[in-house]
Amino acid sequence: MEQPLTAPLPSSRLRVWERRTDPVLLGVGILFLAGWALPIVLPQLPENTDRWLEGIQQTAWALFAADYAIRVWLSDRRRHFVATHIPSLLVVLLPLLRPLAVLRSLLLLTALMRRVTLPLRMRVTVYVSGWACFLALVGAIAVLDAERRSADPTIVTLSDALWWSLTTMTTVGYGDLYPTTLEGRLIAATLMLSGIALLGVVTASIAAWFVERFQQTSAAESRNEADLRLVLAELRKVRARLDELAERRDDGPGTTTGSG
């Protein structure tokens, strides 16, 4: 008899490693993000500070690369692990994606939400909100870095970048600020698609809430109707029994007199 195909569980050594290193890697990711963002947000930093922040980025990337290699080594099915952890591999291989290494913090958010007794929709809302805030912040800093190299930029300050990122992710698009470089437009396209996807998740969550409410109301009404039918059936039985007893009582004296 064929066994159903299920996704293999991670090895115990891998689970222990991830449980112990996730908090450390979260801190490393935050330091990496700070080392990447500070020179962009504060371009007048001293040269020594820039080199120091660059060193933080390189060290953090090396730690993420080492963590990925160790997780592959600890995995029982290494090819399957590589095939199911493509984003982690891209973060290690592609320098442009290194800021996205801090996305591992969202995995910690998911693990934390499992320990909290909240409805599934609430966990989804918190997770999606975390994604949206992170993407808006990273997109704003990335487009600010790209647009500063433009000959005629419209996004020149962090506040401009944050406003542009918000209007782009929400697909409002006022048009007062827009990227003029190829890199900035690629970032804009990524934020647009991400905003549409996140909006779809939020809309689906709200729709699921309404559907669940309607189903609960319908189920409650069905239960009430079923209970009412049971009560009516019991009342009919009781009434029939009472009518039978009443007939016996009325027939009893007459039958006794006739026989005497």
Q: Express as a percent the part of the chain with pLDDT over 90.
A: 7
pLDDT band at 214 (very low <50, low <70, confident <90, very high): confident
Tell which wins on pLDDT, 96 or 179.
179
Report the mean per-residue pLDDT for the chain: 79
Region 7-21 average pLDDT: 75
95 phi and psi angles, rounded to 5 deg = -60, -35
Q: H helices of the chain, where?
A: 12-41, 47-74, 78-84, 86-93, 104-115, 120-147, 158-169, 182-259
Element (H, E) at 150: none
CA–CA separation, 63 and 92 (whole Å): 10
CA–CA separation, 75 and 147 (whole Å): 42
For the cut 90, the answer to whether the pLDDT of residue 163 exceeds it is: yes
What is the amino acid identity at position 193? L
64 phi and psi angles, rounded to 5 deg = -65, -40
For the cut 60, the answer to whether the pLDDT of residue 85 exceeds it is: yes
Region 11-18 average pLDDT: 82
pTM score over 0.75 = no
pLDDT tens across 104-140, in order? 555 555 555 555 566 666 767 777 777 788 888 888 9
Note the pLDDT of residue 70.
92
pLDDT band at 15 (very low <50, low <70, confident <90, very high): confident
